[in-house]
Amino acid sequence: MSAMDEPVPRVPANRPGGRARAADVAAAARVSIATVSLVANGKAAGRVSMQTQARVEQVIEQLGYVADPAARSLVTGRRQCIALLAHDITNPFISLIAAGVTRAVGTGTQLLLASAGADVRPDLARIAAFGVDGILVDHPASEHVAGLGVPVVHLDDPDADESLPRAYFDLAPGGALLAGHLAGLGHRRLLYLDATRPWATFARRRTHLLTGLSKLAPDTIVTPARSDIDIDTTRQLVRRTWPRWRVDGVTAIVTATDVQAFGVLAGLADLGVSVPGQVSVASFDSVPFAQLTAPPLTAVALPAEQLGHTSATLLLALIDGRELGSRVQVIPSSLDVRSSTGPAVTR
Amino acid sequence: MSAMDEPVPRVPANRPGGRARAADVAAAARVSIATVSLVANGKAAGRVSMQTQARVEQVIEQLGYVADPAARSLVTGRRQCIALLAHDITNPFISLIAAGVTRAVGTGTQLLLASAGADVRPDLARIAAFGVDGILVDHPASEHVAGLGVPVVHLDDPDADESLPRAYFDLAPGGALLAGHLAGLGHRRLLYLDATRPWATFARRRTHLLTGLSKLAPDTIVTPARSDIDIDTTRQLVRRTWPRWRVDGVTAIVTATDVQAFGVLAGLADLGVSVPGQVSVASFDSVPFAQLTAPPLTAVALPAEQLGHTSATLLLALIDGRELGSRVQVIPSSLDVRSSTGPAVTR
DNA sequence: CTGTTAGCGCTTTCAA
DNA sequence: TTGAAAGCGCTAACAG
């Protein structure tokens, strides 16, 4: 009768403290805790006999043993956790990014969701101090990330320092497509509703559209405006200001984000203005909900889920020290033509 | 000349490893690491002289010292982190919950976002094993939480075991209000589009509506249907099945969630069916987007942000061992009447 | 193949 | 008022 056949000594799994520790498993399996560690981490192949391995595994199962992550982190230096620093999780564009990140990290790594305030620095530092293996940053200025001690990947920040790992959208195709679409419909008097946040992506969205427009129809006049990325704020703005824009002969409104376009559509509906009958509306982002507005929204498609997935994959590679491909991932944009845009109307 | 006046010895802040450790601070300030710990944790009052304290604080600032969280966790047992286990972060209802949680936890605690798969148990165990101080669970069966070793608060699970800490909506008022609204508009033939997930909240949503209806208009007939909580799936279902429902004389469709109602609205629009002209539509949740659909959606209002905030506050209290008020928080529901519901039409 | 040993960086008694 | 020392639970060299 070998050791394997003997009943495994029962050791109280529920010690006062709570979970079982490696020492408990070791005692129950009559091995050293080093062996337990080897088996628990799947490093037993060729180093521990099959018998011992089986016995330890059984006890681990029985006791529900899981290595204390804090203790493991202390020695390995790894946290098995990355953070996503974003400004507003209720923004569907951000939710989509988060979903992409979730898909990329799998089950081995956890995702910390950090909502930033207006100021970015303290949050970044706090997250780094909390202890994560890497950080995905949606937007803040790149200057703050130096000396954080962990890899950082910047999201949707086309103007970030060349040397910084990042994933962003190539806004050129989408911007040009939208310009062509609008110019083709005869729009020569536009209103561009920018975001108030001074982010590079918004500058790019604007300039790509304007450049395209001035190339295709140099006589186009674009009135600038701006608002927060908030449905209600934008809605109020439109209700207040549409009469003026109308007098100016605006035939199309383009917004920097879908959320703002939602507000524009709502404000216009409040006013009884028909879209695209009296004015066309288009935007950047094209989140799923953009198909459901009345009318469905024409928008430059920015695949946010893909951005999340790509950036997280890059970050994971950086963390592992793998240098797979480029540290800069560019994701193409396109145009989703729906029915919120139509021929320019002249009154 | 006292020790305080002497220049603080320069110790390389950027050691090969990365961040400064307590030992670096101790060496630079010429104190023991025990003293550094005391000062860093604000426990120096009365135990360390003002002079020493000031000197240590200065060095901490200089070196940018932050205690290693893994090391601290190992000894304190606290992780300063809670997890939110939910199924789909792109669902706006979940995003709202997450926003509420974020608001509640403040800066001292971090939020782990865990997306569950179809199976709940492994995820819960994995999160607990990862090391968090507590878990917010959106939905799964309560049986799986026993012996996790950390406090768990159940969200929106009205039928959870009495003894379990939880926060949920009282669906009675909203359900009754919707029943009254619909009955008052003359609807006697309804389609109820339930969710496929077998969750208590969905059973409650349905029964509260049906109970109200049978009380106010006992002759009401309700046809049951179900779909996943996904816009496109629901949209297809409606496109396929509306003709049959129409033949059955259905004058109103009520869905278990906003997301499903979005799909219904889209499907109906595809079919050219006017809402509420030919059929009324209503749902449960009332997320912000519900105001933006065409037409704006009548919905039972379930304050998700508040649910997130309340449940997180409860969890934090549980973690701290504070027993403030009840372990069961009930949040009232109401009805947002918008224009997707109108008088029942008889053909 | 298995066990012994030396820390990872920190908090916390307990002495001095 | 300060410091020495004992771990927290684990991993990873290194012996045997």
Please give the span between the terminal C-alpha atoms of chain B, in angstroms, as a whole number. 100
> What is the distance between the alpha carbons of residues A222 and A228, in angstroms, rounded to a whole number?
19
User: Bigger pLDDT: B226 or B65?
Assistant: B226
Task: Name the nucleotide with the smallest C1'–CA separation from A41.
Answer: D11
Within 8 A by CB and 6+ apart from B112, the residues are A81, A110, A111, A112, A113, B81, B82, B83, B84, B127, B130, B132
B326 CB neighbours strand D below 7 A:
no
Residues 6+ apart with CB under 8 A from A87: A94, A115, A116, A138, A139
| φ and ψ of B167, to 5 deg | -135, 125
User: What number is the average pLDDT over the span B135-156?
Assistant: 82
> Per CA to C1' distance, which residue is closest to D9?
A71
Cβ-defined contact of A111 to B110 (cutoff 8 Å): no
Residue A322 pLDDT grade (very low, low, confident, very high; cuts 50, 70, 90): confident
Inter-chain CB proximity A92 and B96 less than 8 Å: no
CB burial of B87-116 (b: ≥16 within 10 Å; e: otherwise) equals bbbbbbbbbbbbbbbbebbeeebbbbbbbb
Residue nearest to nucleotide D1 (CA to C1'): B48
What average pLDDT does the segment A251-264 reach? Answer: 97
Q: Which nucleotides of C are covered by protein (CB under 7 A)?
A: 1-5, 7-13
Give the whole-number percent of chain A exceeding pLDDT 70: 91
* Mean pLDDT computed over A253-270: 97
Residues with Cβ < 8 Å from A270, sequence gap 6 or more? A235, A239
pLDDT level of residue A8 (50, 70, 90 thresholds): very low
Across A83-98, b (16+ Cβ under 10 Å) vs e yields bbbbbbbbbbbbbbbb
What single string gives the DSSP state of each residue in A249-298? T--EEEESSHHHHHHHHHHHHHHT--TTTT-EEEEEE--GGGGTBSSPPE
Question: How are beta strands A334-336 and A298-301 bridged, if at all?
Answer: antiparallel
Q: What percent of chain B has pLDDT over 90?
A: 64
Tell me the H-state helices in chain A: 22-29, 33-40, 50-63, 69-76, 92-105, 121-130, 171-184, 200-216, 231-247, 258-271, 304-320
Task: Using CB atoms within 10 Å of the CB of residue A180, give its burial: 0 to 12 exposed, 13 to 18 middle, 19+ buried.
Answer: middle
Band of residue A337 on the pLDDT scale cut at 50, 70, 90: very high
Model confidence at B103, in pLDDT bands (50, 70, 90)?
Answer: very high
Q: Say what the pTM is.
A: 0.91
**pLDDT at residue A166 greater than cutoff 90:** yes
Q: Which one of A90, A111, A294 has the shortest CB-CB distance to B99? A: A90
CB A142 within 8 A of CB A156: no
Can you tell me the mean pLDDT for A24-38? 90
Question: Mean per-residue pLDDT for A14-41?
Answer: 81
Nucleotide nearest to A45 (CA to C1'): C1
Q: Is the CB of B39 under 7 A from strand D?
A: no
> What's residue B14's pLDDT?
38
**pLDDT recorded at residue B347:** 58
- From the list B269, B51, B246, the residue with the least C-alpha distance to A292 is B269
**Beta-carbon separation of B289 and A262 below 8 A:** yes
Distances (CA, A) of A143 to A131, A154, A160: 20, 12, 9
Identify the residue whose tokens are 């865990």.
B114
pLDDT of residue A159: 85
Residue A152 Cα distances to A164, A166, A317, B54, angstroms: 8, 8, 11, 34
* Under 8 Å between Cβ of A209 and A192: yes
State the Cα–Cα distance between residues A3 and B300, nearest whole angstrom: 64
The two three-digit tokens of residue B54, written as one number? 């000031």
Task: Please answer yes or no on whether B81 and A130 come within 8 Å at the CB atom.
Answer: yes
Q: What is the pLDDT of residue A90?
A: 92
Distance B75 CA to D2 C1' (A): 22
Nearest to A341 by CA among A150, A195, A186, A120: A186
pLDDT value at residue B243? 97
As a whole number of angstroms, the distance between CA A53 and CA B236 comes to 52
Sheet holding A134-138, edge to edge: A328-332, A166-170, A152-155, A134-138, A81-86, A110-115, B110-115, B81-86, B134-138, B152-155, B166-170, B328-332
Give the whole-angstrom CA distance, residue A144 versus residue A121.
6
* Residue B127 pLDDT greater than 50, yes or no: yes
The stretch B319-333 carries a mean pLDDT of 88
Q: Which of A186-195, B16-25, B323-332 comes out lowest in average pLDDT?
A: B16-25
Does residue A60 carry a pLDDT above 50? yes
More confident residue, A308 or A158: A308
Q: Quote the mean pLDDT of chain B.
A: 89
Q: What is the reported pLDDT for A98?
A: 96
pLDDT for residue A118: 52
- Mean pLDDT calculated for residue range A273-302: 96
pLDDT in tens, B14-23: 344 467 889 8
Please give the residue that has the higher pLDDT: either B346 or B316: B316
pLDDT digits (tens, 9 = 90+) for B260-283: 999 999 999 999 999 999 999 999
Q: Which amino acid is at A174?
A: G
Exposed e or buried b per residue across A3-30, where buried means at least 16 C-beta atoms within 10 angstroms of its C-beta: eeeeeeeebebeeeeebbbbebbbebbe
Q: Considering only CB atoms, which chain A residues are within 8 Å of B81?
A: 112, 130
What pLDDT is recorded for position B117? 58
The token pair at B252 is 């109103």
Give the per-residue pLDDT at B325: 78
For residues A51 and A240, which has the higher predicted lDDT (pLDDT)?
A240
State the average pLDDT over residues A255-277. 96
Of A18-22, A161-165, A292-296, B38-42, give the lowest mean pLDDT range.
A18-22
* Residue B126: predicted pLDDT: 82
Distance, CA of B21 to CA of A257 (rounded, Å): 44
Does A18 contact B149 at a Cβ distance shorter than 8 Å?
A: yes
Contact B112 A107 (CB under 8 A): no
Alpha helices in chain B (DSSP H): 22-29, 33-40, 50-63, 69-76, 92-105, 121-130, 171-184, 200-216, 231-247, 258-271, 304-319
The mean pLDDT value for A290-300 works out to: 94
Beta bridge partners of B167: B155, B329
The pLDDT value given to residue B118: 52
Most confident of A25-39, A50-64, A220-234: A220-234
Tell me the backbone φ, ψ of residue B304, rounded to 5 degrees.
-65, -40
Predicted local distance difference test score (pLDDT) of residue A17: 45
CA atoms of A180 and B155, how far apart (whole Å) = 49
Instruction: Give the tens place of pLDDT for each residue, A61-77.
Output: 888 888 988 999 988 88
Q: DSSP secondary structure string, B266-320?
A: HHHHHHT--TTTT-EEEEEE--GGGGTBSSPPEEEE--HHHHHHHHHHHHHHHHT
pLDDT at residue A44 tops 90: no
Q: Kindly tell me if the per-residue pLDDT of A82 is higher than 50.
A: yes
Neighbours of B14 (CB within 10 A): 12
Residue A346 pLDDT exceeds 80: no
Per-residue flag: A201 CB under 7 A of strand C: no
Confirm if B239 and B271 have CB atoms less than 8 A apart.
yes
d(Cα A105, Cα A310) in Å, to the nearest integer? Answer: 11
Using CA atoms, how far apart are residues A225 and B303, in angstroms rounded to an integer?
Answer: 33
Question: Is residue B181 scored above 60 in pLDDT?
Answer: yes
Q: Quote the CA–CA distance of B273 and B279 in Å, as a whole number.
A: 8
DSSP A197-235: S--HHHHHHHHHHHHHHHHH-TT-EEEEEEE-S-HHHHH
For residue A97, give the chain B residue with the closest CA. B90
For residue A267, give the chain B residue with the closest CA.
B292
Residue closest to B9 by CA, chosen among B23, B26, B24, B29 = B29
Q: What integer pLDDT is reported at residue B35 of this predicted model?
A: 92
- Can you tell me which residue has the tokens 């695949």? A303
Chain A residues 57 to 116 with C-beta below 7 Å from nucleic strand D: 65, 67-68, 71-72, 74-76
C-alpha torsion sign, points A24, A28, A32, A37:
negative
**Can you tell me the distance from the alpha carbon of B314 to that of B137, in angstroms, rounded to the nearest whole number?**
13
Mean pLDDT calculated for residue range A305-321? 94
**From the alpha carbon of B29, which nucleotide's C1' atom is closest?**
D2
- Are A157 and A97 in contact by the 8 Å Cβ rule? The answer is no
How would residue A1 be classed by pLDDT, with cut points 50, 70 and 90? Answer: very low
